[in-house]
């Protein structure tokens, strides 16, 4: 397969000890040979692949014959490379101008600049990586918490792909069994009886349901939970935000109505990531600006994944709190009551509100006490407490979850149809749909548009 040769600087833009340029494609070695000369006088392509070769780099856009820099080249012959194509990596001194000159020389030598994510895209197209493995490459690059890194590393090793492979294989043999029943209804060719077909379908349904359920934890770690901090004025919402962030982000005063805008910040808390928003205290206010803030707070509560409802524990519940409690009852997300100001002594009757919330945690935001307690409660609610990162297949983004869910729905419809005694071809169609959705999930049948969307999130050079 002929593939246009691409080149890019793979190290971050800036000064550093070392910079790396990657060249990949059918002419990668020829391109590199034009600008890189091994010190031993031989040609790069005549040296053993996958060994470090010391040499000089020349600026092809400058007539002077003196080398620009000395460098180490490593070349890989297809298919034994990251992209699956012939690839050359040049390591040289990490200067901004120097990197630009070397890249420009690669272009003069016949390569074209790589697009964002193009190396990994080629790895996917050549079959070296599945789609979920390619996504895990971005996951590793973007990871800011240990849990995100472990999850991405596990997915990059193929944990999810292997689980999907197993489900896909079972589904494939099920489909052929269903078609055997359809094509040869009277003969005894069928691998499975109708009852067995149904029970296999239910079995696959169960596996997919379990896989879909992992998205709760997977997304809490990888994408982060939309978490709204809400409550009455002066209960300590902004103090809680600051405590969770570990810095003074929001203004804290004893004046009710201090916070009006929604303040958004992301923080790692234990194994999960919280996309926090601090909101205006919920009350009827004559101040038009504050009232807009209250409306925003209420609408954030409606679409949050986690509600941290803050109460001033040093006072009994007041009447205005009943409106807020009604709202808390209505929202369908995970809900934690944060009983704040423990240092002043708790006089709020916690039992009267316990039933509204999944968990109750007592803290003192001002003194910075209670961060760990909140972390462990959130981990429990989002089922990330005891994940075996090395072995458990998990769905980590909305795309994967949508594909797995549509596969699950189709399998459920197939099983229901079989159970109702509908003709086998109806179940067959649904099973095919499920197969298509699974193919989309890990890349065997993914559309070009989805592939574009995934790889554009990459940086150039990856």
Ligand X SMILES: Nc1nc2c(ncn2[C@@H]2O[C@H](COP(=O)(O)OP(=O)(O)O)[C@@H](O)[C@H]2O)c(=O)[nH]1
Question: Binding residues for ligand X, per CB under 6 A?
Answer: 231, 233-239, 252-254, 258-259, 281, 340-341, 343-344, 364-367
Residue with smaller CB distance to Mg ion, 111 or 365 = 365
Cβ of residue 286: shortest distance to Mg ion, in angstroms?
18
**Smallest separation (angstroms) from ligand X to the CB of 94:** 45
Query: What does 411 bind: ligand X, Mg ion, none (CB cut-off 5 to 8 Å by kind)?
Result: none
Cβ neighbours, 10 Å, residue 301:
23
Nearer to Mg ion, 258 or 268 (CB): 258
Choose from Mg ion, ligand X, none: what does 22 bind? Cβ within 5-8 Å by kind.
none
Maximum distance among all Cα pairs of the chain, rounded to whole angstroms: 87
CA distance 230 to 297: 7
Q: Residues with Cβ < 8 Å from 449, sequence gap 6 or more?
A: none
The CB-of-370 to ligand X minimum distance in angstroms stands at 9
Least Cβ distance, residue 235 to ligand X (angstroms): 5
Q: What b/e sequence results for 144-158 when a residue is b if at least 16 CB atoms lie within 10 Å of its CB, and e otherwise? A: ebebbbbbbbbbbeb
Return the one option of Mg ion, ligand X, none that residue 10 interacts with (CB less than 5 to 8 A, by type). none
- Shorter beta-carbon distance to ligand X: residue 138 or 240: 240
Toward ligand X, which CB reaches closer, 126 or 258? 258
Residue with smaller CB distance to ligand X, 19 or 310: 310
The count of residues in the chain is 462
Using an 8 Å Cβ cutoff, are 222 and 152 in contact?
Answer: yes
Those residues whose C-beta lies under 8 Å from the C-beta of residue 357, and which sit 6 or more positions away, are 309, 328, 335, 336, 337
**DSSP string covering 23-90, please?**
EESTTHHHHHHHHEEETTSS-GGGSPTTS-EEEEE--TTS---S-SEEEEEEEE-TTSSSSSS-EEEE
Instruction: List residues binding Mg ion (CB under 5 A).
Output: 237-238, 258-259
CA Rg value for the chain? 29
Which one of ligand X, Mg ion, none is in contact with 239 (Cβ closer than 5 to 8 A by kind)?
A: ligand X
State which residue, 22 or 237, has the beta carbon closest to Mg ion: 237
> Residue 399 CB, nearest distance to ligand X (Å)?
36
The partner in contact with residue 340, picked from Mg ion, ligand X, none with C-beta cut-offs of 5 to 8 angstroms by kind, is ligand X
Alpha-carbon distance 122 to 400, whole Å?
21
Binds 99: which of ligand X, Mg ion, none (CB < 5-8 Å by kind): none
Backbone phi, then psi, for 20, in 5-degree steps?
A: -125, 135
Pairs from 141-145 (Cβ < 8 Å, separation ≥ 24)? 141/458, 141/459, 141/462, 144/268, 144/273, 145/221, 145/268, 145/271, 145/273
Would you call 40 exposed, middle or buried from its count of C-beta atoms within 10 A (0-12, 13-18, 19+)? exposed
- Min dist. Cβ of residue 311 to ligand X (A): 10
Minimum CB distance to Mg ion, residue 325 (Å) = 19
Q: Which of Mg ion, ligand X, none is residue 101 near (CB under 5 to 8 Å by kind)?
A: none
* Residue 56: Cβ within 10 Å count: 16
When the beta carbons of 260 and 399 are compared against Mg ion, the nearer one is 260
Decide which of ligand X, Mg ion, none touches 103; Cβ closer than 5 to 8 Å per partner kind: none
- CB 314 to Mg ion: min, Å: 17
d(CA 52, CA 74): 5
Nearest distance, CB of residue 248 and ligand X, angstroms: 11
Q: Which does 138 bind (CB under 5 to 8 A by kind): ligand X, Mg ion, none?
A: none
Binding site partner of 155, from ligand X, Mg ion, none, Cβ cut-off 5-8 A by kind: none
SS3 content of the chain, % helix, strand, coil (to 5): 45, 20, 35
Nearer to Mg ion by Cβ, of 109 and 243: the residue is 243
Q: Report DSSP letters for 286-320, one per residue.
A: S-HHHHHHHHHHHHHHHH-SEEEEEEETTS---TT
Our CB check for ligand X shows the closer of 122 and 341 to be 341
CB of 324 to Mg ion, least distance (A): 14
């Amino acid at each position: 397969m002929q593939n246009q040769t691409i080149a890019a600087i793979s190290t971050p833009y800036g000064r550093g000890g070392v910079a790396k340029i990657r060249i990949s494609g059918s002419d990668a070695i020829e391109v590199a040979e034009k600008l890189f000369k091994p010190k031993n006088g031989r040609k790069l392509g005549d040296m053993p692949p996958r060994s470090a070769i010391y040499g000089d780099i020349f600026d092809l856009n400058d007539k002077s014959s003196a080398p620009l820099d000395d460098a180490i080249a490593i070349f890989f012959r297809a298919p034994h490379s990251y992209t699956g194509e012939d690839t050359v990596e040049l390591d040289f001194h990490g200067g901004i101008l120097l990197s630009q000159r070397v890249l420009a020389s690669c272009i003069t030598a016949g390569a074209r600049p790589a697009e964002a994510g193009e190396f990994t895209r080629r790895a996917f197209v050549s079959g070296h990586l599945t789609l979920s493995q390619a996504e895990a490459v971005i996951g590793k690059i973007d990871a800011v918490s240990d849990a995100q890194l472990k999850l991405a590393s596990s997915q990059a090793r193929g944990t999810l792909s292997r689980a999907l492979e197993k489900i896909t294989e079972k589904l494939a043999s099920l489909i052929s069994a269903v078609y055997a029943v359809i094509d040869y209804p009277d003969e005894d060719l069928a691998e499975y009886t109708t009852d067995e077909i149904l029970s296999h379908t239910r079995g696959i349904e169960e596996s997919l349901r379990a896989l879909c359920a992992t998205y709760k934890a997977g997304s809490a770690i990888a994408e982060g939970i939309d978490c709204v901090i809400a409550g009455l004025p002066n209960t300590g919402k902004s103090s809680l935000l600051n405590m969770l962030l570990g810095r003074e982000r929001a203004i804290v005063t004893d004046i009710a109505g201090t916070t009006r805008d929604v303040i958004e910040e992301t923080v790692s808390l234990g194994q999960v990531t919280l996309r926090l928003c601090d909101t205006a205290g919920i009350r009827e206010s004559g101040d038009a600006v504050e009232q807009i803030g209250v409306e925003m707070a209420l609408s954030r509560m409606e679409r949050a994944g986690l509600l941290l409802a803050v109460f001033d524990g040093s006072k009994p519940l007041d009447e205005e709190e009943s409106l807020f409690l009604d709202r808390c009852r209505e929202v369908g997300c995970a809900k934690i009551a944060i009983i704040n100001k423990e240092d002043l002594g708790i006089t709020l009757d916690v039992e009267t509100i316990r039933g509204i919330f999944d968990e109750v945690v007592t803290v003192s935001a001002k003194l910075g006490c209670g961060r760990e307690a909140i972390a462990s409660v959130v981990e429990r609610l989002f089922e990330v407490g005891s994940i075996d990162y090395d072995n458990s297949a998990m769905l980590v983004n909305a795309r994967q979850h949508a594909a797995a869910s549509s596969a699950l729905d189709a399998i459920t419809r197939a099983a229901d149809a079989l159970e109702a005694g509908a003709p086998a071809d109806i179940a067959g169609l649904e099973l095919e749909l499920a197969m298509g959705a699974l193919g989309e999930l890990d890349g065997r049948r993914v559309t070009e548009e989805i592939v574009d969307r995934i790889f554009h999130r990459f940086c150039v050079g990856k």
